[in-house]
Chain A
Amino acid sequence: MHLIRFLTYQCFRLAVVVLGVAMLNFLLIHSAPGDPAMVLAGESGAADPKFLEQLRRDFGLDQPLYMQLLHYLGNIARFDLGYSYRQNLPVLALIADRLPATLFLTVPAFLISLGLGIYWGRHAAGRRGWRLGAFTAVTAVFNAAPVFWMALILVMVFSYWHGWFPAFGIRTPGATQSLAGQAADIARHAVLPIVTMSLFYLAVYARLMRSSMIEAMDLDFVRTARAKGASRQRIVRRHVAPNAILPVVAMAGMQAGQLIGGSVVIETVFAWPGIGRLAFDSLLQRDYPVLMGILLVSSVVVIVINVLTDLVVGYLDPRIEIVT
């Protein structure tokens, strides 16, 4: 019963937040100078009043702002995200088209960085001397290096010098292979972007896990276990690690919410057709429906994942009880 009430409350909260997000985004985006008609004029290098008037009428921009907002909120309530001004395609179709490419990067990168990060951090907790120094230095580099720089370095080494992986794109154009062949083609293209994306979060999780382990080692029950004569390995496995992992799970939950947003930088450098780049491009192009659609979908996903994370942590940590 507690769970049902908890979830009902969360759904209600979700609806309120989504409405608030939609309104806020609408107002923010429309306050930026320029509109999609101006952007199209800029790209053509030529314009006259008729050109701008026509486009604005087609896009519904000639109506007063509050009318446009009401119209938009009404559509949202019916799960209609509208049409892209620029491409004249449904927003939902555009998002659905680009989302898989983003998830194909972010989910493997997330799993790799989480898994390797936890493993590495756990073992680094016991290290001293040069091994600790190496750990600190390497994670510092991965943490601090700008993503686009790391991406270009990887492209230079593995694509340009050695030709092992393609430099950009998600697939080879026009190749007609079997499904397996196409999958292999995409996988080859995905290696460098996934590696780039993993490196940053790998460092974050590794460090977090390590410091979390060290803190957990100092807790009372560890001393008790040692007094009882438990082996070091057993202590780490049964007492320290499960407790140390909680902050990492919380952090992972936060990152999971962002998976859907992708990384604009990585998608730009690798010409990867993901949703991060779609959002960025639609901002520059003032394609309001697309941008608002993406922000809306993102906020729904973030909220849902936050709730799930709360549930997971609540399950793992017996001290926490979910109450409404």
Chain B
Amino acid sequence: MSVTSRRTFLTGLFAGMTALVAGHFMAVPAAAQEPTRGGRISIALSPEPPVVMLGVNSSGPAQLVGGKIYDGLLTYSQSLDPMPRLAKSWEVSPDGLRYTFNLEEDVNWHDGAPMTAADVVFSLRDFLSETNPRARTLSSRITSYETPDDHTVVLTLSEPFPAFIRGFDVSTVPILPKHIYEGTDFRANPANERPIGTGPFKFEEWRKGEYIRLVRNEDYWNEGKPYLDEVVFRIIPDAASRLAALESGEIDLASNYDIDPVHTPILQQNPELEVTNEGYEFLGHISWLELNNRVKPLDDVRFRQAIMHAIDRDFLAQRVWFGNAIPATGPVASVTKYYEPDVASYPLDLDKAKALLDEMGLAPGTDGVRARLRLMQLPNGEVWTRMAEFIRESLSKIGVEVQLESVDSGTWVQRVGNWDYDMTINVLGQYADPAMGVARSYISSNIRQGVPFTNTEGYSNPKVDELFAKAASTNDESERAELYSQVQKILVDEVPVAWLLQVRFPTVYNKKFANVVTSAIGVVDNFDSVYIRD
């Protein structure tokens, strides 16, 4: 090579390399970018719901799928403030009796028909009041439904009910198509197999036992959204298989009961996965050791208080739930409105527990046992079994011998509903407001034999009934707070059930997805803003 050409070659090489290096630095994307359209997210689903039409089924898995096909009037921020959805704005009259919702215009159902105020009225008054117990809590208080025009709904209540505005999430009041369901047998309507909603994703395909596939609704009323092409729900019944699928990338997201807490440390170490406990603020689950108040010696408040002193709730939260729970202090979760932290406390104190039992006259027998009780395990997965085993160990230290009973789900619901148990572990959602999800477990009027998720422990206190009733219909914020504070103090003194944990279920997802949890209903929400990062 001649000197000149070598010099040219070297210059060219040097220039080329500079360009490459400079180009690399210049190609780093700017911080704020337009979300990329396209891609698919795979979500674990278990157990397979019977239908995903939210009007006739509101199980967790149905909500996970249905929340993307249907819209509610509102959704809720993580601090439980209402945010617009199908209702772009709303007003509440000063006396708390009239609720006016102004609907988005230009909204179409997935079959092309327009959505109007008539659909909203039909959904709440005719459909959900027939099929959904939670919606009935709202509809039973409505005295009139008016639609002054196609995009306005006015609901009038019989008395003020401030919790009302927090009842319009997509799982309690999904807006359903009147033109498809009016005059039909709701449960038997063939449209239930191919649900039609107004949501960002349309139902495409369901291979029973395998997967459910939703595709982008090109005609979605929120312009430009959704970003993803598809949402696929894969049915994976086994917990270990779900873990393997997450780790190998065959699924992108798993949540709620689909993750065994014991797996979260492994998942947190995976650099591609994000583990979060957010997105359950609306449900605010509390788990408790339910004590059948009709069974001796559980009918004595001192025994119940002794149980509270004997269980190490911190251990449960850290070592059994691996940080996916925090100790509960009472009947209301800290994320729910009107939570009162200043209540009686029951620190771990075995001596105090034993003293209470001594005071009751329950002396230990020759074998050291003061009382024998059965504990029916909650068949929702391994972690609940471990909780039961830990409780048995804890109570044995104060001389209470616990016999564990293992049952399946149908049996559990049957026996709890019919009060055929001594103790069991229960977990219930709060639905943002004590009037919606808390009162039902403690008021005398909700003692109904044969019906689960009512006041099954049989606690009855007229003062508590009065406080809950008054607080539900008081329009004044500070008065409501005061009433709920009083009722929480009374309940924590009387310990109708031994509250254990505020569960914050983990959601695990691939970090390449943005905006997965943006509201208080977390992954049940519609995913219209989820996109894949570059």
Instruction: Please determine whether A160 and B248 come into contact, CB atoms closer than 8 angstroms.
Output: yes
Name the contact of B238 in the complex, choosing from A51, A54, A88, A271 (C-beta under 8 A): A271
Chain B residues in 8 Å Cβ range of A98 = 208-209
How far does the alpha carbon of A56 sit from the alpha carbon of B39 in the complex, in Å? Answer: 43
Given the interface pairs A152-B240, A268-B238, A284-B409, the reply to whether A48 lies near B209 with Cβ below 8 Å is no
A111–chain B nearest beta-carbon distance, Å: 24
A318 contacts across to B, CB distance below 8 A: none
Partner of A268, one of B58, B208, B237, B411: B237
In whole Å, how far is A308's beta carbon from the nearest beta carbon of chain B?
A: 29
User: Are A39 and B413 touching (Cβ within 8 A)?
Assistant: yes
Residue B244 at the A interface, CB < 8 A? yes
- Tell me if B403 is interfacial: C-beta within 8 Å of chain A: no
| Residue in B51, B230, B250, B412 whose beta carbon sits within 8 Å of that of A168 in the complex | B250
CA distance A34 to B188 in the complex (A): 23
Pair A271/B136 contact, Cβ less than 8 Å: no
Task: Check if B50 is an interface residue, CB within 8 A of chain A.
Answer: yes
**With the chains together, A35 CA to B450 CA distance in Å?**
12
Considering the complex, which residues of chain A in the window 244-292 have a beta carbon less than 8 Å from any beta carbon of chain B?
Answer: 268-274, 277-278, 281, 284-286
**CB neighbours of A36 from chain B (8 A):** 410
Chain A interface: which of B74-82, B113-121, B451-459? Answer: B451-459
Q: Are B237 and A277 in contact (CB under 8 A)?
A: yes
Contact of B244 among A58, A159, A273 (CB under 8 A): A159
Given contacts A33-B410, A51-B133, contact A173 B452 (CB under 8 A): no
Contact with A along B140-172 (1 / 0, CB 8 A): 000000000000000000000000000000000
Shortest CB–CB separation between residue A83 and chain B, in angstroms?
Answer: 9
Contact between B238 and A269, CB atoms less than 8 A apart: yes
Complex contacts, A160 vs chain B, CB 8 Å? 244, 247-248
Min C-beta distance of B409 to chain A, whole Å: 6
User: Which A149-180 residues have C-beta < 8 A from chain B?
Assistant: 152, 155-156, 159-160, 163, 166-171, 173-174
Do A167 and B408 have beta carbons less than 8 Å apart?
A: no
Known: A155-B241, A168-B250, A284-B408. A87 touches B210 (CB 8 A): no
Cross-chain contact of A33 among B51, B415, B448, B450 (Cβ < 8 A): B415
Chain A, residues 35-76, CB within 8 Å of chain B (1/0): the string is: 110111111111111111010001000000000000000000
Do B450 and A52 touch across chains, with their CB atoms under 8 A apart?
Answer: yes
Q: Within residues 22 to 42 of chain A, which ones have a CB less than 8 A from any CB in chain B? A: 32-36, 38-42
B208/A46 in contact, CB under 8 A = no
Q: Which of B131, B234, B452 touches A42 (beta carbons < 8 Å)?
A: B452
In angstroms, Cα B236 to Cα A199, docked, is 23
A101 within 8 A of B: yes
Cβ-defined contact, B50 with A169, below 8 A:
no
B188 to A159, Cβ gap below 8 A? Answer: no
B408: A residues at CB distance < 8 A: 34, 284
A271/B234 in contact, CB under 8 A: yes
Cα separation A48 to B50 with both chains bound (whole Å): 20
B213 touching A174 by the CB < 8 A rule?
Answer: yes
- Cβ-defined contact, B429 with A168, below 8 A: no
Q: Which residues of A contact B48 (CB under 8 A)?
A: 281
Rounded to whole angstroms, the CA-CA distance of A46 and B132 in the bound complex is: 9
Please state if B453 and A46 are interface contacts (CB–CB under 8 Å).
yes
Judge whether A49 and B248 touch: CB under 8 Å. Answer: no
The interface residues of chain A lying within 8 Å CB-to-CB of B235 are: 271, 273
Judged by DSSP, the binding face of B is mixed
For window 326-354 of B, CB contacts with A under 8 Å fall at none
The reply to whether A43 and B414 contact each other, CB–CB distance below 8 Å, is no
- Whether B250 and A58, one on each chain, are in contact in the complex, defined by CB atoms closer than 8 angstroms, is no
B410 contacts which of A32, A173, A278 (Cβ < 8 Å)?
A32
Q: Which of A36, A48, A52, A54 has the most CB of B within 10 A?
A: A48
Q: Of residues B57, B230, B248, B407, which shows the largest number of chain A Cβ atoms within 10 Å of its Cβ? A: B248
Set A47, A94, A168: member contacting B241, Cβ < 8 A? A168
A86, CB-defined interface residue at 8 Å? yes
Bound complex: CA of A171 vs CA of B235, how far in Å?
A: 12
Instruction: Compute how far the CA of A50 lies from the CA of B373 in the bound complex, rounded to whole angstroms.
Output: 33
Evaluate contact between A273 and B209: CB separation under 8 angstroms. yes
User: Number of contact residues on B: which range applies?
Assistant: 35 or more
Query: Could you mark each residue 284-318 of chain A with 1 if its beta carbon is under 8 Å from any beta carbon of chain B, else 0?
Result: 11100000000000000000000000000000000
Identify the interface centre among B207, B410, B453: most chain A CB within 10 Å of its CB. B410
A51 to B128, CA, bound (A): 11
Q: Which of B42, B58, B250 has the most CB of A within 10 A?
A: B250
A97 within 8 Å of B by Cβ? Answer: yes
Chain B residues closer than 8 Å to A278, beta-carbon distance: 209
Q: Determine whether the beta carbon of A45 is less than 8 Å from that of B451.
A: no
Which chain A residue lies CB-closest to B416? A42
- Output the nearest chain B residue to A98 by Cβ-Cβ distance: B209
Q: A45-B429, A169-B211, A273-B208 are in contact. Are A87 and B51 (CB under 8 A)?
A: yes
Chain B residues with Cβ below 8 Å from A86 are 50
Residues of B within 8 A of A46 (CB): 58, 133-134, 453
Question: Are B240 and A49 in touch, CB under 8 angstroms?
Answer: no
User: Which residues of A are found within 8 Å of B50, using beta-carbon distances?
Assistant: 40, 86-88
CB distance from B233 to the nearest CB of A (A): 9
B133 touches A50 (CB 8 A): yes
Give bound CA distance, A3 to B235, whole Å. 48
- Are B236 and A168 touching (Cβ within 8 A)? yes
Given the contacts A86-B50, A98-B209, A173-B234, A270 and B241 also touching, CB distance less than 8 Å = yes
Structural contact, B451 and A269, CB atoms closer than 8 A: no
Q: Could you say which of B51, B133, B232, B238 contacts A173, with CB atoms under 8 Å apart?
A: B232
How far is A47 from B58 in the complex, measured between Cα atoms in Å?
11
Q: Does B522 contact A (CB under 8 A)?
A: no
* Inter-chain contact A271/B237, CB cutoff 8 Å: yes
Instruction: Report the 5 A-B pairs with minimum CB-CB distance, sorted nearest first.
Output: A273-B209, A34-B410, A43-B59, A34-B414, A42-B413
B residues with CB within 8 A of A: 40, 42, 47-51, 57-61, 130-131, 133-134, 136, 187-188, 192, 204-205, 207-211, 213, 230, 232, 234-238, 240-241, 244-245, 247-248, 250, 407-415, 417, 428-429, 448, 450-454
Some 24 contacts from A to B, beta carbons below 8 A apart, are: A33-B411, A33-B414, A34-B409, A34-B410, A41-B413, A41-B452, A42-B410, A42-B452, A48-B133, A49-B450, A50-B133, A51-B133, A52-B450, A52-B451, A58-B187, A87-B50, A88-B50, A97-B208, A101-B209, A160-B244, A170-B210, A270-B241, A284-B409, A285-B410
Given A34-B411, A269-B241, output 17 extra A-B contacts at Cβ < 8 Å.
A33-B407, A41-B417, A43-B57, A43-B61, A46-B133, A47-B133, A47-B417, A88-B187, A98-B208, A155-B241, A167-B248, A171-B210, A173-B213, A274-B209, A277-B237, A284-B409, A284-B410
